[in-house]
Amino acid sequence: MGAGTTFDEKGGQFTDWASGVLKQIPVMGGQMIGKGPQEQPAVPDYKGAAEAEAASSMANLQYQTMANRPNAYMPGGGSVEWVPPTEPGGQWTQRTTLGAADQAALESQQRLGAARSSLGETMFGRAQTELGTPADWSSLPGAPDANAARQQAVDATYSQAQSRLDPQWNQRAEGLRTQLLNEGLRPGMQGYDQRMQEFERGRTDAYDTAMRTSILAGEPVAAGEFSRGLQGRQQGVAEMLQKRGTTLNEINALLGGQQVETPQMPGFSQSGVAESPDYMGAATNQYGGTLDQYNAQQAQTQNRNASLLALLKLFA
């Protein structure tokens, strides 16, 4: 700075007394060359912001939990109620209450259940005896013999056919012999023997046809007999097993029965979770804006100082 130049720091201006002429040079913002910069902004309390955000999230969760725990009151006096925890981190409790009529029915049912259980216990010895004795399968009807049933059916059908064929063919044979004798033919003669042989072949064919018919007719009869016999054995097995399990079934029936239904929570729309404030983001953005402002002021100061240095060179 020249010998005739002074700086008024309070007024923020240079004064040049050279040549006896007063010249005042204003300085922007009153900043003097070389004066230190403004303070850098402090770093935000990120830990505090995180804790505040966590506390807000917890408050939202607690509110949602409370909203999703409605009490339900049913017709007849029944209810389902939620009891909040009594200490932090505790568990919620669901309390179900029956109406007066249902409560009385439940207590009566419990007494009846105890009585049924006692009765069933006295019957258990009988059930042990029934189930502990091996099943006597020999007392049941034997399994049917299909071959025997079929042969019996064939014999019966053929006997019926034979009872009709025998009189017919015997009568025809007697008539044929009389006819041959009247024609002068006698046993041993070719004409007589030939006619009798033809007659016997016809008789054999008739009886063979009756046998084939009997065999065909015997198949469905045999199947029916076999089915009826098998059905009888199966029924006997079922009755034996039923008898063995009668007492056990009675015990199970005693222990069963209609139950009193407890009130059920009706359906409802679930409450959503509210968004928590973004304290961390807000702190970061605020710090970034303050830092940008600080950096802009520093650049402005540097530019101003550079301009003042240039002016001083003019008065040096």
* Strand boundaries in the chain, DSSP class E: 5-8, 13-16, 23-26, 72-73, 79-83, 93-97
Amino acid 266: pLDDT: 59
Cα separation of 45 and 280, whole Å? 9
Q: What is the mean pLDDT of each run of 10 residues along the chain (316 residues)?
A: 48 47 45 52 74 77 75 79 81 83 80 75 73 71 73 87 92 92 90 92 93 84 76 77 74 65 58 66 78 81 79 70
What's the start-to-end Cα distance of the chain, in Å?
6
Global pTM exceeds 0.85: no
Q: Is 105 exposed, middle or buried (0-12, 13-18, 19+ CB in 10 A)?
A: middle
How is residue 257 annotated by DSSP?
A: -
Encoding tokens for residue 41?
């902004």
- Are the C-beta atoms of residues 33 and 305 closer than 8 Å to each other? yes
> What is the per-residue pLDDT for 68?
76
| Token output for 4 | 């005739």
Provide the pLDDT for residue 167: 93
pLDDT score recorded for residue 143: 66
Residue 248: exposure state from Cβ atoms within 10 A (0-12, 13-18, ≥19): middle
Which backbone phi and psi does 304 adopt, to 5 degrees?
-65, -45
Q: Which two tokens stand for residue 83?
A: 């009891």
**Dihedral through CA 103, CA 106, CA 111, CA 117, nearest 10?**
-160
d(CA 87, CA 236) in angstroms, rounded, equals: 69
The Cβ-side half-sphere exposure at 313, using a 13 Å CA radius, reads 6
Residue with tokens 């009153």: 30
Q: Residue 13: which of 1, 2, 24, 21 has the closest Cα?
A: 24
